[in-house]
Structure 1
Amino acid sequence: MANRIDRALVTDTALRLLNEVGLEGLTLRRIAKELDVQAPALYWHFKNKQELLDEMATEMFRRMTPDLMPAEGAGWQEAMAHATRVVRRALLGYRDGAKVFSGTRFTDASYATPLEEFLRISVESGFSPRGAARAWFTVNTYTMGYVIEEQSVHPVPGERDPAYDQNTRGERLGGSPLAIEAGNEFFGDLDAGYEAGLRAVMAGIEATLLKEPGHH
Structure 2
Amino acid sequence: MAKLNRDTVIAEALDLLDEVGLDAVSTRQLAKRLGVEQPSLYYHFRNKEELLAAMAEAAMAPHSTAPLPTPADDWRDWFLENTRSFRRTLLMRRDGARLHAGTRPGAADLDRLVHKMAFLIASGLPERDAQLAMLTASRFTVGAVLEEQAEAGAEAEPAANTPRIDPESAFEEGLTLILDGLARRGERA
Task: Tell me the TM-score normalized by structure 2.
Answer: 0.89
Q: Does 1:116 align with 2:114?
A: yes
Q: Does 1:201 align with 2:178?
A: yes
Match of 2:137 in 1: 139
Q: 1:38 to 1:212 in 2, by over 3 A?
A: farther
Deviation at 1:212, TM superposition (A): 7.0
Equivalent pair of 1:127/1:212 in contact (CA under 8 Å): no
3-state SS, counterpart of residue 108 of structure 2: coil
Choose 1 or 2 for highest CA Rg. Answer: 1
Provide structure 1 residue ranges, at least 5 long, that are not aligned to the other structure: 156-160, 171-179
Query: Post-superposition, which runs of at least 4 consecutive aligned residues in structure 1 deviate over 3 A?
Result: 68-72
1:203, 1:44 → 2: CA distance?
A: 49
Equivalent pair of 1:6/1:45 in contact (CA under 8 Å): yes
Equivalent positions of 1:57-206 (< 5 A) are 57-70=56-69, 73-106=72-105, 108-155=106-153, 161-163=154-156, 165-166=157-158, 169-170=159-160, 180=161, 183-184=162-163, 187-206=164-183
Deviation at 1:19, TM superposition (A): 0.7
Deviation at 1:206, TM superposition (A): 2.9
Deviation at 1:207, TM superposition (A): 3.5
2:13, 2:188 → 1: CA distance?
A: 43
1:137, 1:212 → 2: CA distance?
A: 21
Match of 1:173 in 2: none
Q: Considering only aligned residues, what root-mean-square deviation do their CA atoms show, in Å?
A: 2.2
Deviation at 1:63, TM superposition (A): 3.1
Structure 1 vs Structure 2: percent identity of aligned residues?
Answer: 33
Equivalent pair of 1:76/1:122 in contact (CA under 8 Å): yes
Deviation at 1:52, TM superposition (A): 1.0
3-state SS, counterpart of residue 52 of structure 1: helix
Q: 1:146 to 1:68 in 2, by over 3 A?
A: farther
Provide structure 2 residue ranges, at least 5 long, that are not aligned to the other structure: none
Equivalent pair of 1:57/1:104 in contact (CA under 8 Å): yes
Cα-to-partner distance string for 1:91-115 (whole Å, 9 max, x where unaligned): 1111000000111234x31213331
Task: Tell me the TM-score normalized by structure 1.
Answer: 0.79
2:29, 2:71 → 1: CA distance?
A: 44
Deviation at 1:26, TM superposition (A): 0.6
Matching residue's letter, 2:81: H
Matching residue's letter, 2:38: A
Stretch of structure 1 that moved more, 129-138 or 69-78: 69-78
Match of 1:175 in 2: none
